[in-house]
Structure 1
Amino acid sequence: MAELWMGNVEADTTDDELREFLCRYGFPAFDTIKRVEGTGERPAVVLGFEGVEAHVLRALQSRVHNMFWKGRTLVVQVVPTRDET
């Protein structure tokens, strides 16, 4: 499973809004979402994509990284693959 970190996401953004936004730019629909509040100034989400390789997300990442959306500039990064064995 590949994961995508989206930082500086408006806190009241719904899962459906995130899904529609990413699909508009060619991303597959995500399967899981984890919200990361941090200090509250720059909330983030970690999106999980079952059956998607990290290189696919890397190819799409530049489409939305540094994009201005909902009054904020997004920071989008592919989470490095973790070995959980």
Structure 2
Amino acid sequence: MAELWVGNVEDSTTDEEIKTFLCHYGFPPFDTIQRVEGTGEHPAVVLGFNDIASHVLQSLQPRVHNMFWKSRTLVVQVVPGRDET
């Protein structure tokens, strides 16, 4: 499973809006979403893609990293793989 961190997401943004936005820029639909509150100033989401390799997300990430969306500049990074054994 590959994960994508999308930081500085407007708090009121729905899961469906995030999915529509990313799909517009060529991302596949995500399978899971986890909201990360942080300090409240820069909320984020971690998106999980069950059938996508990290290198695929890395090739797509520059399309939306530093993009201005909903009055905020997004910070988008591929989460490094984790060994959960």
TM range (shorter): over 0.9
Q: CA RMSD in A?
A: 0.3
Superposition deviation, residue 21 in structure 1 = 0.1
Q: Matched residue pairs, number?
A: 85
Q: Deviations over 1:29-83 (max 9, x none)?
A: 0000000010100000000001100000000000000000000000000000000
SS in 2 for 1:61: helix
Report matched runs for 1:33-72 at 5 Å: 33-72=33-72
Identity of aligned residues (%): 75
- Counterpart residue number, 1:21: 21
AA at the equivalent of 1:18: I
- Structure 1: runs of 5 or more not aligned: none
Mark the runs of 5 or more structure 2 residues left unpaired by the alignment.
none
Structure 2 counterpart of 1:71, one-letter code: S
1:74 counterpart = 2:70: no
In structure 2, the residue matched to 1:5 is: 5
Q: Compute the TM-score of the two structures, normalised by the length of structure 2.
A: 0.99
C-alpha deviation, 1:12, in angstroms = 0.4
